[in-house]
Amino acid sequence: MNLELDDDQNAILEAVESLLDRFAGPTRAIDLAREAAYDAVLDDAIRESGFEQAMDPLSRAGALETVLIVEAVARRAGVTSFAQEALVGPAVAGRPIRGPVALANADPKQPVRYAAQARFCLWSDGDVARIAEVGAGETEQVESNFGYPLGRISSEVFQRGEALGAGSGERLASWWRVALAAEAVGTMAAALEQTVSYLKERKQFGRPIASFQAVQHRLAECAVRVEGSRLLVYEAAYLDAPTEASACAAAHAMTSARQVFRETHQLSGAIGFTREHDLHVWSMRLQALGAELAGPAGHRRALAASRWGLG
Amino acid sequence: MDFDWSDEDLGHRAEFRAFLGEILPSDWERISEGGPGSDAQADFSRVFCRALADRGWLTQHWPREFGGSDAPPWRHSIIGEECWAIGEPRGPQYMNVNWIGPAIMRFGTDAQKDRHLPLISRGEVLWCQGFSEPGAGSDLVALRTSAVADGDDYVVNGNKIWTSYANHADYIILLVRTDPDSDKHRGISVLLAPMDTPGIEVREIPSVVGDRYFHEVFFTDVRVPIECRLGPEDEGWGVVTYALQYERVGAARYARAARTLDRLTEIARERGLLEDPLVVDRLAEARTQCEAARLLTYRVIDERAHDLAPSTNSQVARVANTRADTCVGDLAVEILGAEALEYGSFADANFRLAMTAGVAVGATEVQLNLIAARHLGLPRG
């Protein structure tokens, strides 16, 4: 048991941060959002960096390292399906997948992240997961305020697709949960950090808003939730995404995400709603993440089923 | 970073569980639900701790010279986790082994170390904590119990409040004000006083938490030898701060909450209550809180294992443990309904113990203040 990052892990994160300095951040995310665009440049930069080849999500250390990077990308508001391509895809398919990758519920009516740009789509079909290439004209962009490019995938895609073996359905659900939780942790941390920064500057009644105890306590409660969520997802990734631990991480992270959304907006006041203020870059994404798979209630159902044989 | 237990640690846990299976009486659950003030629990804790000490498991994390085996913090944490999960059969002695002993090791005279450490490491002594006063709770430095030097003794006058275990304790670790002109951190001293010293009176404070859970301890012209002072005069706050660093690893409350939650789920299953998806949802939510608290507590143990300076990880872990405790305590009542109202029932006992979670180890609000100031860097009000 050792909860400190080692030198290699720290070195990877440093290198990732340098890359994200150039190809991520809220300003870039806002620019991309104007055309609901996907950051293919960031994708290419990550591939060229050699991180993906070095990481093997089928190994414990590799999965943890990939999760660390997923968290970092989310924290810097990167517009990329890195989590889906580098973590979920290979962990479920047992081989590298060249993305962008969309994870779906096989429902053509539901908007899906990265659908309009995806090369591959993964979904569950009963006990097995399926993967299919997404062809031109098989997706349609969906306009959204929730911080990610979204699209609908036509039902033709879900009629075909390679089955990925017995138990792959459950594996998809678990790794999807781990990816969601990791993205949520990075996104929450950034939303909180941005809010803390702002409230230290913003003065009312002759003092910074951050100096009021009620405000301090609410922010501290959010910090406790984020820290707990972080360790849960690290453990789940390290242990190869067991059903229960993955569902637990996702349930805690996505419930925390709702709290962080609510609290950061409430404490930021009206400026927090504006596009010129950066909070929305992360906060709205928290809602999008919460809507994925079956949401926090779905993660809790999966946790209960796994631990207590219920549902 | 890894989340594996070593084979040695796994073996240790298995061995300890086997030991528990042998030593716990068949009515242990009833004894533990009697709460910390009960005679039955105090008596059994003496038996239990002696047996632990015989196997070298009571203070294995202590240095060898003081009766330990220099075991890593993770090793000791396994015992703590297993003990808390079943209702803490070590009783009040977990305090001795976790922080009172270490404080004596660090600040004690040779005579104090010789008198107290062997007793603690053999599981032969109970201590209680004389900190809070009617006028000094969260604001502990406002304490006014006085100790005036007179010859070889201090004469102590004042009173302490909320003292658990005072009815059974052999010694009290007592915070007093030795400099009457001071009113803050300076001027406080720590005394290691025998509870059978003339002039000490223990009175139960009736509460709805349980029998003899809280006590008031009155000191009327109590003569405590100056040689019983721990650390330098007027510098006791430094001793307290040091001791509380050890206490930060604290009690594995999440382990108790998680075990209670699993029991609660089984009871609910027997009653057909798990057909209700809302009940299932609440149980799962409680589970996530227990798991978050577990890992946040592990992070504090890890900090100690790496010899890192104490950080707000402790406060974060405490808040998470309190939330988990409260969530499970409330849920037990909610799920079992009116049955939870009967004194001594499963839900009642667990609810009452969980009730104190936000106050027992310092008010949650103080933890949140510290997280805000030191973890988030927020400015003072």
Q: Cβ–Cβ of B285/A224 closer than 8 Å?
A: no
Predicted local distance difference test score (pLDDT) of residue B182: 87
Residue A203 contacts B where some CB pair is shorter than 8 Å: no
Cβ within 8 Å of residue B276, ≥6 positions away: none
- Locate A293 and state its tokens: 């798979």
CB interface of A with B, residues 217-246, below 8 Å: 217, 219-221, 223-225, 227-229, 231-232, 234-235, 238-239
Give strand ranges (E) for B90-178.
127-130, 146-150, 153-161, 171-177
Q: Which of B285, B301, B320 sits opposite A224 (nearest CB)?
A: B320
* Tokens representing residue A170 in the block: 């459950």
CB contact under 8 A, A216 and B372: yes
CA distance B303 to chain A (A): 8
The mean of the pLDDT values for chain B is 94
Which of B269, B291, B302 faces A248 most closely, judged by CB atoms? B291
- Going across the sheet that includes A120-125, the strands are A101-104, A120-125, A128-133, A162-163
Q: Are the C-beta atoms of A189 and A153 separated by less than 8 Å?
A: no
Q: Report d(CA B102, CA A252) in Å as an integer.
A: 36
Q: What percent of chain B has pLDDT over 90?
A: 86
Are β-strands A150-153 and B214-225 bridged in parallel, bridged antiparallel, or unpaired? unpaired
Q: Which residues of B touch A227 (CB under 8 A)?
A: 296, 299, 316, 320
Nearest CA in chain B to A194: B376
Residue B258 confidence class, pLDDT cut points 50, 70, 90: very high
Residue in chain A lying closest to B276 (CA):
A311
Cβ-based contacts of A234 with chain B (< 8 Å): 1, 3
Which residue is closest to A195 within chain B, CA to CA? B376
Structure tokens at B348: 């009642």
Contact check, Cβ <8 Å, B274/A308: yes
CB A82 within 8 A of CB A96: no
Structural domains in chain A, CATH included, are: 169-308 (1.20.140.10)
Do residues A183 and A291 lie in contact, with contact meaning Cβ atoms separated by under 8 Å? no
Q: How far is A199 from chain B (nearest CA, A)?
A: 9
Residue A49's pLDDT is what? 87
CA atoms within 13 A on the CB side of A123: 21
Rg (CA), chain B: 21
**A231 to chain B: which residues are within 8 Å by CB?**
292, 295-296, 298-299
- Is the pLDDT reported for residue B139 higher than 70? yes
ipTM: 0.97
Rounded to whole angstroms, what are the CA distances from A303 to B74, B209, B280, B331? 27, 32, 10, 17
Residue A81 has φ and ψ, to the nearest 5°, of: -90, 35
Residue B312: partners with Cβ closer than 8 Å, 6 or more residues away: B370, B371, B374, B375
- Opening angle at CA B302, ends B98 and B100, nearest 5: 10
Query: Measured between beta carbons, which residues in chain B are less than 8 angstroms from residue A229?
Result: 292
pLDDT digits (tens, 9 = 90+) for B335-358: 999 999 999 899 999 999 899 999
Residue in A closest to B307 by C-alpha: A4
Nearest to A288 by CA among A248, A266, A261, A249: A261
B97 is written with which tokens?
Answer: 């082994």
Q: Give contacts of A238 with chain B, Cβ < 8 Å.
A: 1-3
- Spatial separation of the C-alpha atoms in residues A113 and A102, rounded to whole Å: 6
CA distance A207 to chain B (A): 8
Chain A interface disruption, residue of B288, B306, B318, B319, most A CBs within 10 A? B288
Distance from CA of B15 to the nearest CA of A (A): 19
Would the CB atoms of A3 and B379 count as touching at under 8 Å? no
B298, B319, B365 ranked by CB distance to A224: nearest: B319
Sign of CA pseudo-dihedral B321, B248, A219, B185: positive
The nearest CA of chain B is from the CA of A311 a distance in Å of 8
Q: Do A1 and B5 touch (CB under 8 A)?
A: yes
At B236, list the tokens. 């006791």
Task: Tell me whether residues A301 and B323 touch, CB distance under 8 A.
Answer: no
Q: How confident is the model at residue B233 (pLDDT cuts 50, 70, 90)?
A: very high
Q: Which secondary-structure segment (H or E) carries B189?
A: strand B188-194
CA distance B189 to chain A (A): 31
Q: What is the mean pLDDT of residues B161-173?
A: 96
Which are the contacts of B262, defined by CB distance < 8 A and separation ≥ 6? none
Kindly give the interhelix angle for B253-270 and B277-305, rounded to the nearest 10 degrees. Answer: 160
The per-residue DSSP string of B202-269 comes to EEEE--SS-TT-EEEEEEEEEEEEGGGEESSTTBHHHHHHHHHHHHTT---HHHHHHHHHHHHHHHHH
Give me the DSSP letters along B276-301: -HHHHHHHHHHHHHHHHHHHHHHHHH
Give chain A positions within 8 Å (CB) of B368. 216-217, 220-221
Calculated CA dihedral for residues B135, B141, B146, B151, nearest 10 degrees: 170
Instruction: Provide, for chain A, the percentages of residues in helix, strand and coil under a 3-state DSSP scheme, each rounded to the nearest 5.
Output: 65, 10, 25
What is the Cα–Cα distance from A118 to A98, expressed in whole angstroms?
10
Residue A231: CA atoms inside 13 Å, Cβ hemisphere, count?
A: 28
* Closest-CA distance of chain A to residue B277, Å: 8
- Given A196, A207, A251, which is nearest B284 (Cβ)? A251
For tokens 């988030």, name the residue. Answer: B376
Structure tokens at B205: 């404070």
**Between chains, do A1 and B302 touch, taking CB under 8 Å as contact?**
yes
Give chain B's domains with CATH numbers.
7-125 (1.10.540.10), 128-234 (2.40.110.10), 248-375 (1.20.140.10)
Contacts of A195 in chain B (CB under 8 A): none
Q: Tokens 């968290």, residue? A: A71
Minimal-distance CA residue of chain A relative to B296: A228
How many contacts (CB atoms, under 8 Å) link A and B? 148
Task: Nearest chain B residue to A210 by CA: give it.
Answer: B378
What ranges in chain B are assigned the alpha helix state H?
7-23, 28-33, 39-54, 73-85, 93-95, 101-107, 110-121, 236-247, 253-270, 277-305, 313-336, 346-355, 357-360, 364-370
B236 Cα to chain A: minimum distance (Å): 29
Tokens 């706050």: give the residue: B237
- Pick B1's closest partner by Cβ from A4, A211, A221: A4
Tell me what pLDDT residue A119 has.
Answer: 96
Tell me the pLDDT of chain A (311 aa) as tens digits.
999 999 989 999 999 999 999 999 999 999 999 888 899 999 999 988 877 655 676 677 789 999 999 999 999 999 999 999 999 999 999 988 988 999 999 999 999 999 999 999 999 998 999 999 999 999 999 999 999 999 999 999 999 999 999 999 999 999 999 999 999 999 999 999 999 999 999 999 999 999 999 999 999 999 999 999 999 999 999 999 999 999 999 999 999 999 999 999 999 999 999 999 999 999 999 999 999 999 999 999 999 999 999 85
Give the closest-approach CA distance of B255 to chain A in angstroms: 16
- Over residues B112-127, the mean pLDDT reads 96
Given a contact cutoff of 8 angstroms between Cβ atoms, the answer to whether A187 and A286 are in contact is: yes
